[in-house]
Amino acid sequence: MEKVKLTIDQKAVEVPKGTTILKAARTVGIEIPTLCYMHLEDLNIEHKPGGCRVCVVEVQGRKNLAPSCATEVSEGMIVNTHSIRVLNARKTVLELILSDHPKDCLICPKSGNCELQDLAIKMGIREIPYQDIAEMSTYRTDFSPAIIRDMNKCIMCRRCETMCNEFQTVGALSAINRGFMSVVAPAFEMDLEDSVCTYCGQCVAVCPTGALTEVDHTNRLIRDLANPAKTVIVQTAPAVRAALGEMFDLEPGTLVTGKMVAALRRLGFKYVFDTDFAADLTILEEGSELLDRLTRHLNGDKSVKLPILTSCCPGWVNFFESQFTDLLDIPSTARSPQQMFGSIAKTYFADKIDVKREDLIVVSIMPCLAKKYECTRDEFKVNGNPDVDYSISTRELGNLIKQANIDFHSLPDEEFDLPLGESTGAGVIFGATGGVIEAAVRTAYELFTKKTLDSVDFNELRGMDGIREATIDFAGTPINIGIAHGLGRARKLLEDIRNGKSHYHAIEIMACPGGCIGGGGQPLHHGNFEILKKRMEAIYREDQNKPIRKSHENPYIIKLYEEFLGKPLSDKSHKLLHTHYVDKRKKIIYI
């Protein structure tokens, strides 16, 4: 590859032709500040609108300052990244951005994690000269069940737009209007709730300011925990244990299952349970559904729809309910583990401990923002009382533990409570892309072939590639499996199904990069896939360490069927553990 030689801040640099000044500077340890720029290397997304001008540098012989994120190097170029002219311009740019930005940093949900705030600190901004003449924006704040849009804090970096349109292909957000009036919004500035938004939360994960944040249920939780009339129980999703440690400066990939359980107990939860238990339950229901469809298909029943699609991921469910409404009969009808847990907790378990449904509060800790919405769906309520009362994110839990003066590092490792805290390795791997289908294969194989697996590790289903496929030999019957993470990739698989070109029997979809480990409610990874890979390794390590690794061997699941449900796909199972999907396009209204 052709190389280019140049000088940056008097350092000689040699980089391949086509490299930007920003990246060339990084190769010699010079970090030029940026704001709108975003590079998610492993997702192949480089967002460089060149709009904020924070990254400007001086190039000798060039009249204007150059945005380093969008300017390619050339032979013999002499670049200065911190001349007085550059520093003045950078400061002015920042002062202009700040001039109409709300000054409520002290109470902003992004405070401490805000890239604009970081820059103001770095540049030593002590006054904002233009604010007297700057007109403040007065957009209404848009509250949805999962995401809050406070567009007064939008700096038009448009990163959210890139995630929503290019990576997820959801298309809920776009820049609208022009000049001072421009802002990122759904079509016709309708509420996010009425738009095609899936609540995947990837926009929140990349927003540099407090413009996009999650709905925070922390205070509600504190109030409920203090109420003696309520029994408050909690379930924790598999991906949380692989990332929560990062909130306490532990290395990414540190498993903190035991400490997390201990912390939840100290916060005051009466019972600390595991969503992994419900994941095992999901496998029995979804796996049985797969086997049922598969057996009928193999016996020549032409009415059977294949492939079967997983239905654990609420962002994914929202996606096909609004964009693939012609395929609503293909996904599994099994509810997600979060909802299966809630349903069992408020029937089977509530009876066991003799607590009325209304007095039992079920809270979930999720790596996800769409889960906040999922538990508000009417299908998951009984007489208006939700199966899961509300969901809080990994980030919210981390902050709550800090608020409660709990020294996370010195906590002992504690065990989940029984019976809804017992889980197998198959339940744990739900947290990573490929994990749900691997868990399903472990059970479906044994139920289908009546043989015991030699090894439960299906490495061909694991990994970080966006779309993966594998054929698993079910004792002579080849089963074709497809996997996608990220809704843009899912769209490709769905379009194949729509066009009759899909050869899969089963497909697993997760909306976020890497699966739940990269969810919109996780500690921010800033596009660093090394962090996601470490979280993924942690998930598989937890699976490896489990004495039982197949869902159908979970003794408390077996007991649940014996005492309560009967068998998978029974009438009771259908009522409590399955759902139906709705055509969301009908909901679209114009304001």
Active site residue 332: yes
Q: Is 379 a catalytic residue?
A: yes
- In angstroms, give the least distance from the CB of 488 to another protein: 12
* Bridge partners, residue 100, by sequence: none
**What HEC string does 218-278 produce?**
HHHHHHHHCCCCCEEEEEECCCHHHCHHHHHCCCCCCCCHHHHHHHHHHHCCCEEEEHHHH
In the complex with another protein, the residue whose CB is nearer, 50 or 171, is 171
When asked if residue 177 is in the footprint of another protein (CB under 8 A), the reply is yes
CB closer to another protein, 166 vs 460: 166
Q: Does 588 bind another protein (CB under 8 A)?
A: yes
Q: How many CA atoms lie within 13 A of 74 on its CB side?
A: 8
Of 184 and 401, which has the nearer Cβ to another protein? 184
By CB under 8 A, which span of 40-48, 186-194, 541-549, 574-582 interacts with another protein?
A: 186-194
Q: Is 374 marked active-site?
A: yes
C-alpha span between 515 and 518 (Å, rounded)? 6
Q: Which is nearer to another protein, 185 or 234 (CB)?
A: 185
Active site residue 371: yes
3: left (phi over 0), alpha (psi -120 to 50) or beta: beta
Distance in Å, CB of 44 to another protein, minimum: 20
* DSSP one-letter string for 510-521: ESSTTSGGG-TT
> Which residues are CB-contacts of 170 (< 8 A; sequence separation ≥ 6)?
164, 196, 197, 198, 200, 319, 323, 487
- Verify whether residue 516 is a known catalytic residue: yes
Cis, peptide link before residue 331, omega less than 30° from 0 = no
Using the rule CB under 8 A, is 327 a contact of another protein? no
**195 touching another protein, by CB under 8 A:** yes
End-to-end CA distance of the chain: 54
Decide: helix, strand or coil at residue 217: coil
Applying CB under 8 A, the span of 35-43, 124-132, 180-188, 550-558 interacting with another protein comes to 180-188
Contact status: 326 vs another protein (CB under 8 A) = no
CB of 369 to another protein, least distance (A): 19
Query: How many Cβ atoms sit within 10 Å of the Cβ of residue 228?
Result: 5
Determine contact, residues 432/539, Cβ cutoff 8 Å.
Answer: yes
Our finding on whether 238 is near another protein (CB under 8 A) is no
Binding flags for another protein, 381-420, as an x/- string (CB under 8 A): ----------------------------------------
Say whether residue 456 binds another protein (CB under 8 A).
Answer: no
Question: Which amino acid makes up residue 33?
Answer: P
**Count of residues interacting with another protein (CB under 8 A):** 21
Give least dist CB 182 to another protein, A. 8
CB 368, min distance to another protein, A: 23
Measured from the CB atom, the residue of 178 and 302 that comes closer to another protein is: 178
When the beta carbons of 202 and 236 are compared against another protein, the nearer one is 202
The answer to whether 499 contacts another protein (rule: CB under 8 A) is no
Question: Is the separation of the CB atoms in 551 and 280 below 8 Å?
Answer: yes
Q: Which is nearest to 461 in space by CA: 488, 479, 487?
A: 479
Q: 115, 246, 285, 286: which one is catalytic?
A: 286
**Which residue lies nearer to another protein by CB, 92 or 182?**
182
Residue 175 within binding range of another protein, rule CB under 8 A = yes
Could you tell me which stretch among 183-191, 231-239, 545-553, 563-571 binds another protein (CB under 8 A)?
A: 183-191
> Could you tell me if 401 and 249 are in contact, meaning their C-beta atoms sit under 8 angstroms apart?
no
187 binds another protein (CB under 8 A): yes
The whole-angstrom distance between residue 121's C-alpha and the CA centroid of its chain comes to 29
Residue 589 touches another protein, criterion: CB under 8 A: yes
Catalytic residue among 251, 379, 495, 530: 379
| Sequence letter at residue 482 | G
Give residue 222's identity as a one-letter amino acid code. Answer: I
Query: How many whole angstroms separate alpha carbon 527 and alpha carbon 511?
Result: 15
List 353's β-bridge partners, or say none.
none
Q: Residue holding tokens 């408050």?
A: 232
Give the shortest CB-175-to-another protein separation in angstroms.
5
3-class secondary-structure state, position 508: strand
Who contacts 433 (Cβ-Cβ below 8 Å, separation ≥6)?
463, 464, 483, 485, 508, 510, 514, 515, 536
- Contact segment (CB under 8 A) with another protein among 97-105, 182-190, 285-293, 474-482 equals 182-190
Minimum distance of another protein from residue 482's CB (angstroms): 23
Cβ 42 to another protein, closest distance in Å?
25
User: In this structure, is the dihedral angle defined by the CA atoms of residues 377, 397, 154 and 524, taken in order, positive or negative?
Assistant: negative
The one catalytic residue among 371, 372, 534, 584: 371
63 scored as a contact of another protein (CB under 8 A)? no
To the nearest whole angstrom, how small is the minimum distance from the Cβ of residue 172 to another protein? 6
Would you state the structure tokens that stand for residue 39, as one six-digit string? 């590079």
Bond prior to 238 in cis (omega within 30° of 0) = no
Contacts of 469 (CB under 8 A, 6+ apart): 480, 481, 482, 483, 504
Tell me the closest approach of the beta carbon of residue 587 to another protein, in angstroms: 10
Site track 134-173 with another protein (rule: CB under 8 A), x = hit:
-------------------------------x----xxxx
Catalytically active residues are 286, 289, 312, 332, 371, 374, 379, 516
Using CB under 8 A, list all residues that contact another protein. Answer: 165, 170-178, 182, 185-188, 195-196, 588-591
